[in-house]
């Protein structure tokens, strides 16, 4: 399989998107380091070849940054993980922009109220950042917690979504 990789400029810096031949996002993040983005893909889904090209997801990302924070909701993604991870990634996509959850609330959404660490691990192993919005999960005390692409990007995304929340 040959995947397409595209880097676009955003107010948060370079956003690189890796999509498979069916235009499903395999990984994305705020870096122009293509190897770093490809490296986030589970080995079973990692493409044999990567070529620079236009991805459908780039249009959604541009619309998101232009104020349509729901533009990312319908972008197809593909990840490999356990049943709980798949459930978690689907649950992340249901968190409304401007209404972040705490890790404890996210664990409840997963049906495992005591599995707060597992809920955090679901976020940490999320490869298609932005399109599976793990940035919408915060520590129980309301602080940002972690984010693979840096807390400045997470803060910016949350502020953008709060301003345009529907």
Catalytic annotation, residues = 134
Bridge-based pairing state of the strands 101-102 and 13-19: unpaired
- How far is 30 from 14, CA to CA, in rounded Å? 5
């Amino acid at each position: 399989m040959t995947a397409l990789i595209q880097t676009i400029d955003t107010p948060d810096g370079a956003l690189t998107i890796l999509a498979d031949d069916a235009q499903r996002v395999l990984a994305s993040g705020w870096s122009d380091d293509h190897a770093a983005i490809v490296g986030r893909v589970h080995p079973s889904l990692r493409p044999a070849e990567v070529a620079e090209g236009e991805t459908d997801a780039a249009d959604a990302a541009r619309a998101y940054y232009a104020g349509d924070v729901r533009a990312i909701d319908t972008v197809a993604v593909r990840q490999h993980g356990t049943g709980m991870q798949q459930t978690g990634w689907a649950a992340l996509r249901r968190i409304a922009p401007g209404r972040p959850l705490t890790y404890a609330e996210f664990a409840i959404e997963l049906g495992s109220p005591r599995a707060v660490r597992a809920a955090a691990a679901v976020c940490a192993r999320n490869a298609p950042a932005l399109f599976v919005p793990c940035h919408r999960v915060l520590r129980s005390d309301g602080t940002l917690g972690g984010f693979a692409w840096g807390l400045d990007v997470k803060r910016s995304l949350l502020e953008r979504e709060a301003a345009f929340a529907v």
